[in-house]
Structure 1
Amino acid sequence: MRCECLFFLLIYSLRIDSKSDYQWSYDQDFFNGPQYWGRVVKEWWMCERGQIQSPIDIQPKQLLFDSSIKPIKLDKVQVVSEMVNVGQMIRVRIGYSRARPSVNITNGPLNGYQYRVQRIDFHFGNTTHNGSEHTINGRRYPMEVQLVAFNTDIYPNFTTASKSPHGIAILSILVDFGEETNMELLKMTIATASVTYKDKRVQLAEFEPWRLLPMTRDLITYEGSLTTPGCDETVTWILLNQPIYITKDHFFEWSKLYFSQESQIKAPIGPNYRATQKTNNRLVRTNIQHKTNHNCKLSVGRVFYRANQYSMRKN
């Protein structure tokens, strides 16, 4: 079976004229899955050979405390937006106008730059598997919500920024099971009924991205890549230390979404995550305050872990 897949991959790759022709997926068992992204489109070589790829497993004992990291700021504004089933995931595209200003991410580890939120990507599992991209101590969460933003202080658009240094920031929120669903996530959940199949879309009313954030000033950050082809290593990842919650009934609604179009065989989107990548000695920093014994307890959902005792040295 694997030989047949490799043969099909070879034949298929000869037919690819541009990256837009390749219908990639997150399915590890097929020729268009993550293990082949870097082989079929020359612009995606980083997916296979990159050294600071994402996502990663957050190792509690390897977190490095950095007191210079300030809490992240996300503008508290209502946005014009559209939810789209792009096949590989559910994506909310953020629009802008004079009446509706941009929503920006600042502070945190962003070195004084301002990043405009371009879209929000949803990674999720199904009734038997969790679907977050990042893991904590090896644990994968039911969902991960990613606010993808580009550096407007340096670059004119998202495309240019995604291939350039300090171009992209992704604010990541893990989603765990709970007794109540985050109200803004509930809006998204209800809207999924209108985007069951690929290419379906629906306008969102009164959407406020900042309400997706948990009530915490604590974060974890590292330098990595996009988790979609071509895996450009231009991303500052920011993971908030508290999850938001979704009920199991509401989570079940996300399992009704399909990678395929309505006229095609039903192929579910979830689970739609890229496997965790090697850390390769990268610094994974946190602003979580130490206790008196120079350690700190850090919680994400029901997982508790410690940052190490060494602080970042200031130059």
Structure 2
Amino acid sequence: MRFFECSSLPNHFSPFSSQFLTHLLILHTLSLTVEASTRNNYQWSYDSDVFGGPDFWGLVEKDWWMCRKGRLQSPIDIQPDRLLFDASVKPVRLDKLPVLSEFVNTGQMVRIRIGYSTKKPSVNITNGPLYGYRYRVQRIDFHMGRGKENGSEHTINGRRFPMEVQLVAFNTDLYPNFTAASKSPHGIAILSVLVDFGAQTNQELTKLTIATASISYKDQRVQMADFEPWRLLPFTRDIITYEGSLTSPGCHETVTWIILNQPIFITREHFEEWSHLYHTMEGAEKVPVAPNYRKIQETNNRLVRTNIQHKMSYNCNVSVNKIHYRANHVAPQQHSTRRHNNPFV
């Protein structure tokens, strides 16, 4: 089975065929699905030690002022003992459909850009804390560490994870496109999955690990055959949610963040493969993409809600070893067994 295909046109496409024209239209659509801030020529970076790093985002471009002045910025540290249980927060839903997609190295990160057609409609995020709105998945961003440094953007009780997968979607009920939605209320939803080390790599993450060899350098891309975003999600109905911002310029505070309460896993060997991705063009000096995460931002008294009944008056159901949320009360003799089998419960 082939997990991905090169971005060159298949042999059966002729310059005048309907398949050829459709293919060009899809690629053109994918090329336009980038937030407005990335269209300019400024080479921003996640490296805090260089001009253009996060400390300068709010200074170098007038449209990025929110990166410096915003009070609802992301990412944040999730603190289990400060989560607010909210029974009205329902489990989130992601359509279980294959998508048209390309895997691209943008220089700042690796990203899956998602297109759609009549034969392969868009994939949507619904339910959860989204107030009945429908959000179309536009892209999937990957934030990662390198070597012994972990690279998730969100942390749990100060712990950073090896990777974070972010499914970025915009509100199609209110806005015509991603650019308009990214600057508008209730415009963006980001479904976030933390990635931890494990004995086996998630099935869909394995496909992407293989494909990284084709996008080592900036602007390289490869088409993905029958990629299924929903397979990147863990099997859980438990979520954490808060109102925040994009974690790249211009840091617009229009994002409903939804963080799933279980990780997916990657082996250390596969994680190492992601370290061979470079911020630079082929032929230039090799500057690694990773680590590519924004530093933790102040919570500023925001409510961080969950549908997990993690606090009980007669039993402390919070563990700080890993993410370890307790969704339901269990007898003391069962507690250690469940924690061992599923650290996210």
TM-score, structure 1 as length reference? 0.89
CA gap of 1:231–1:291, structure 2 versus 1, over 3 A, is: closer
Aligned residues of 1:241 and 1:300 also touching (Cα < 8 A): no
Cα drift, residue 21 of structure 1: 1.9
Residue matched to 2:12: none
Give the distance between the partners of 2:218 and 2:293, measured in 1 at CA.
17
Give the distance between the partners of 1:191 and 1:298, measured in 2 at CA.
38
Superposed CA offset, 1:11-59 (max 9, x none): xxxxxxx971210000011111000000010000000000000000001
Superposed CA offset, 1:166-221 (max 9, x none): 00000000000000000001111111000000000000012100000000000000
Superposed CA offset, 1:65-109 (max 9, x none): 000000000000000100000000000000100000100000000
Residue matched to 2:216: 196
AA matched with 2:127: N
1:251 counterpart SS class? helix
My pick for the range that moved more, 186-195 or 294-303, is 294-303
1:256 partnered with 2:269: no
Structure 2 unaligned residues grouped into runs of 5+: 1-37, 328-345
1:193 counterpart SS class? helix
Cα drift, residue 297 of structure 1: 3.7
Aligned residues: 290
1:91 counterpart SS class? strand
Alignment of 1:176-191 (within 5 A): 176-191=196-211
1:104 partnered with 2:89: no
Which has more strand, going by share of residues? 1
2:271 counterpart SS class? helix
Residue matched to 2:246: 226
AA matched with 2:91: P
**Percent of matched pairs sharing the same residue:** 71
Give the distance between the partners of 2:321 and 2:292, measured in 1 at CA.
21
Cα drift, residue 303 of structure 1: 3.2
CA gap of 1:113–1:85, structure 2 versus 1, over 3 A, is: same
Give the distance between the partners of 2:311 and 2:297, measured in 1 at CA.
31
2:301 to 261, 274, 281: 281
Cα drift, residue 295 of structure 1: 6.5
1:293 partnered with 2:306: no
Give the distance between the partners of 2:103 and 2:321, measured in 1 at CA.
27
1:168 partnered with 2:211: no
Alignment of 1:1-315 (within 5 A): 20-290=40-310, 293=313, 297=317, 302-305=322-325
Aligned residues of 1:181 and 1:250 also touching (Cα < 8 A): yes
Cα drift, residue 302 of structure 1: 3.5
1:184 counterpart SS class? helix
Aligned residues of 1:19 and 1:43 also touching (Cα < 8 A): no
CA gap of 1:77–1:296, structure 2 versus 1, over 3 A, is: farther
Give the distance between the partners of 1:154 and 1:299, measured in 2 at CA.
40
Root mean square deviation, CA, Å: 1.7
Aligned residues of 1:102 and 1:116 also touching (Cα < 8 A): yes
1:161 counterpart SS class? helix
Structure 1 unaligned residues grouped into runs of 5+: 1-17, 308-315
Give the distance between the partners of 1:301 and 1:208, measured in 2 at CA.
32
Q: List, as ranges, runs of 4+ consecutive aligned residues in structure 1 with deviation greater than 6 Å.
A: 298-301
